[in-house]
Amino acid sequence: MHSIFNPDHHLSISMGVPHMFRFRPPNDYTLSEIEENYIWFSDRDSLNDEMDSNPEFVKLSTNLDEIKLLYDTIAAHILDPRTKKYFDEHMTEETLQEFASSKIKPFISSFGIACFTMYPMNAKLWEIYADNNQGVCLHFDSSNDPKFFHNILPIHYVSGLKEHEYNPISQPNHIVDLFYKKTKEWSYEKELRLLKEKAGRVYYKPTSLLNVLIGRDAKSDFVKEVVNAVKQYHKHVKVFQVAGPVSIGKLSYRPLYIPE
Confidence of residue 53 (pLDDT cuts 50, 70, 90): confident
The rounded distance, in Å, linking the Cα atoms of 61 and 171 is: 11
Question: Is the confidence at residue 19, as pLDDT, over 70?
Answer: yes
> 239 versus 50: which is more confidently predicted?
239
- Nearest Cα to Cα of residue 53 among 161, 160, 153: 161
pLDDT the model gives residue 238: 96
Confidence of residue 2 (pLDDT cuts 50, 70, 90): low
Radius of gyration of the chain (CA): 22
Task: Give this prediction's pTM.
Answer: 0.82
Q: What percent of the chain has pLDDT over 70?
A: 83
pLDDT the model gives residue 141: 96
> 144 versus 78: which is more confidently predicted?
144
Q: What share of the chain is helix, strand, coil (3-state, %, to 5)?
A: 35, 25, 40
> 66 versus 1: which is more confidently predicted?
66
Report whether 224 contacts 214 (CB < 8 A): no
> 154 versus 83: which is more confidently predicted?
154
pLDDT the model gives residue 41: 96
Domain coordinates of the chain in residue numbers? Answer: 2-43+115-161+171-257
Report whether 202 contacts 148 (CB < 8 A): yes
Q: In this predicted model, what pLDDT tens digit does every residue of 165-210 receive, in sequence order?
A: 777 666 666 667 888 999 999 999 999 999 998 999 999 999 999 9
Helix ranges restricted to H, the chain: 28-36, 64-76, 81-90, 93-102, 104-109, 123-128, 220-233
Q: End-to-end CA distance of the chain: give it in Å, rounded.
A: 19
Q: In this predicted model, what pLDDT tens digit does every residue of 201-253 receive, in sequence order?
A: 999 999 999 999 999 999 999 999 999 999 999 989 999 999 887 776 678 88
Q: In this predicted model, what pLDDT tens digit does every residue of 81-126 receive, in sequence order?
A: 777 777 677 767 677 667 666 767 787 888 899 999 999 999 999 9
> 73 versus 143: which is more confidently predicted?
143
Confidence of residue 7 (pLDDT cuts 50, 70, 90): low
Identify the DSSP state of 162: -
